């Protein structure tokens, strides 16, 4: 696997940043979570005057062989249809990127379709969909490693374009199934607590999905997969998800702020943290959604979500939607006066 140089946050400036925040013209701690966010972003950027530059949302698309087993209401062709909608600019993630000034980057990680060049979808296709992991591994370890590298490459390009805050989204019919399996494997959580309705399954549909995933999970020794995470990624992942893992690791190495989206991207972060636990220090949790298991995943990751709007769309929508709060935190530390400069009597110790 590609090696990354991900350093723990340098906290040598923490006391100075906290002092700056505490001496802004407000009661100490009165801006709550904004103060915590300002501190985290300051530590990521190693400055008491952080800035947000050219935010990007990278959306990876890929098809899943397990869809053949009826684990989702969303048929295989929806993946490529939605990727086209993203490119045209008529989907959920588009209005949020437009509203908040994000550049939307679309990446074909493994869609079962050849997109015309004029759509502007970046071709990083590993294959036209993963294999059906009910019977065999979704991909080879070599393919997983290639996906990690290609995801990292996309982030390096965004960074070279001046981006220092980035979010990741996905499109792939069936990818909540892969996310549930990764959550169960890496989080040591019973599969029943990880499986939800996905794109809108009925209770009977969820039961069928759970049955298929349980059978799929029996193909491997779970303890072996926990100790060999590349094999776990290859066994049950999607190309778009493994690319997101590589993208997150690369973003952390480049000391970028990662805005985390929903259930699927949280499962990808959990997977990424198996290789480099330090990646979590660079993550701001955009939201907690309604997909079964998402809240539990955030608890495992020890994250604190900004929003709770019952969202479960994916695509990066929850992450991008949370961006104004992050921007407010940065504006707070940069634009508020302190007591001395503002000539305000400091009325607390």
Identify whether the C-beta of residue 49 lies closer than 8 Å to the C-beta of residue 332.
no
What is the helix (H) or strand (E) element at residue 258, kind and residue range?
strand 257-260
Question: Which residue, among 62, 49, 70, 60, has the nearest Cα to 93 in the 3D structure?
Answer: 60
DSSP annotation string for 304-324: --SB-S-----TTHHHHHTHH
Of 143, 253, 291, 315, the active-site residue reads: 315
DSSP annotation string for 172-194: -TTHHHHHHHHHHHHHT--GGGT
Phi and psi, residue 212, nearest 5°: -65, -40
CA 280-283-286 angle, to 5 degrees, is: 135
Phi and psi, residue 63, nearest 5°: -95, 155
Length, in residues, of the chain? 349
Estimate the crossing angle of helix 229-236 against helix 239-253, to 10 degrees. Answer: 140
Structure-token match 């190693």, residue found: 46
Catalytic residue check, 315: yes
What is the helix (H) or strand (E) element at residue 123, kind and residue range?
strand 122-123
Identify whether the C-beta of residue 183 lies closer than 8 Å to the C-beta of residue 147.
no
CA–CA separation, 96 and 322 (whole Å): 10
Dihedral (CA of 129, 130, 132, 134) sign: negative
| Residues identified as active-site | 315
């Amino acid at each position: 696997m590609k090696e990354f140089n991900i350093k723990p946050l340098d906290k040598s400036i923490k006391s100075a940043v906290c002092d700056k925040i505490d001496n802004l013209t407000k009661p100490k701690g009165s801006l709550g979570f904004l103060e915590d966010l300002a501190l985290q972003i300051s530590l990521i950027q190693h400055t008491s005057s952080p800035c947000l530059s050219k935010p990007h949302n990278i959306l990876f698309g890929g098809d899943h062989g397990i869809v053949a087993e009826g684990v989702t209401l969303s048929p295989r062709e929806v993946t490529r249809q939605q990727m086209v909608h993203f490119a045209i600019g008529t989907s959920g993630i588009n209005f949020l990127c437009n509203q908040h000034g994000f550049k939307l980057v679309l990446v074909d990680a493994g869609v079962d379709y050849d997109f015309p060049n004029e759509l502007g979808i970046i071709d990083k296709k590993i294959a036209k969909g993963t294999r059906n992991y009910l019977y065999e591994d979704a991909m080879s370890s070599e393919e997983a490693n290639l996906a990690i590298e290609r995801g990292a490459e996309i982030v390096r390009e965004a960074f070279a374009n001046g981006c220092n805050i980035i979010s990741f989204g996905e499109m792939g019919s069936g990818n909540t199934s892969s996310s549930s399996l990764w959550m169960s494997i890496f989080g040591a959580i019973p599969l029943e607590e990880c499986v939800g309705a996905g794109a809108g399954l009925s209770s009977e549909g969820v039961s069928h999905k759970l049955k298929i995933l349980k059978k799929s999970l029996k193909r491997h020794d779970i303890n072996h997969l926990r100790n060999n995470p590349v094999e776990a990624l290859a066994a049950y992942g999607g190309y778009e998800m493994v690319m997101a893992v590589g993208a997150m690791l690369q973003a952390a190495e480049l000391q970028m702020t990662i805005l985390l989206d929903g259930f699927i991207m949280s499962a990808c972060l959990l997977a990424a943290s198996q290789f480099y636990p330090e990646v979590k220090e660079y993550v701001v949790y955009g939201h907690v959604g309604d997909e079964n298991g998402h809240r539990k995943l955030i608890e495992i990751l020890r994250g604190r979500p900004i929003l709770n709007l019952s969202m479960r769309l994916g695509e990066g929508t929850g992450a991008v939607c949370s961006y104004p709060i992050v921007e407010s935190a940065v504006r707070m530390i940069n634009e508020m006066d302190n007591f001395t400069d503002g000539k305000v009597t400091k009325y607390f110790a």
